[in-house]
Amino acid sequence: MTARPFKFGDKYREGVSVVAYHERFKSDFGRLNYEWIERYFVVEHHDRELLDQPYETIIEPGGEIFFAVAGGEAVGTAAMIPEGDERFELAKMAVSPDWQGRGIGDMLLETCVGFARERKALSIVLLSNTRLKAAIGLYRKHGFRETLTDSRSPYERVNIRMELAL
């Protein structure tokens, strides 16, 4: 598989760049996300679906997975999953504990917002848990606002839904 074009310019900060999905980072998508999920919660069925088959469940339907890369190693990731023609879900955002606090979450989030805007989406939604205080703070910093939760969430751990109008 060859890399697809990445149109958002080179996001680069402190030796870290953001790149679009490539098969060589497939296992890193799972590794980075399983790490935080297992630390705070229990891995659920929908987690496994997305993390074990990211190309089939996220890329093929029209989404994207981004990786923050430092020294050739994936140190962060975030996925954009299409929800119809006008909205994306920001999902599976993770930064390695050794790399947290360096603006990598900002880089990934800015890239995801650029991706959604380029595709003329009207909004981005995300599902999370208020226990993840740093993540919730990051989302708020970038303009996400709390909305009503949906009882049809595929995750038991979800207790907050946020949305960013584009």
Spell out the residues 6+ positions from residue 155 whose beta carbon is closer than 8 angstroms to its own: 44, 46, 47, 127
Residue 78 contacts residue 67 (beta carbons within 8 Å): no
* Amino acid 85: pLDDT: 85
Distance between CA atoms of residues 30 and 32, nearest Å = 6
Phi/psi at 121 (nearest 5 deg)?
-70, 150
pLDDT tens for each residue of 98-113: 999 999 999 999 999 9
Q: Which residues are within 8 A (CB) of 61 and not within 5 positions of it... i.e. 6 or more apart?
A: 81, 82
pLDDT of residue 63: 98
pLDDT tens readout for residues 3-34:
444 444 445 566 899 999 999 999 999 999 99
pTM of the model: 0.90
* Closest C-alpha to 150, from 161, 164, 139, 140: 161
> How far apart, in whole angstroms, are the C-alpha atoms of residue 164 and residue 47?
23
Inter-helix orientation angle 133-141/104-118, to 10°:
50
Q: CA 13 to CA 103: how far, in whole Å? A: 8
Low pLDDT (below 50) residues in the chain? 1-10
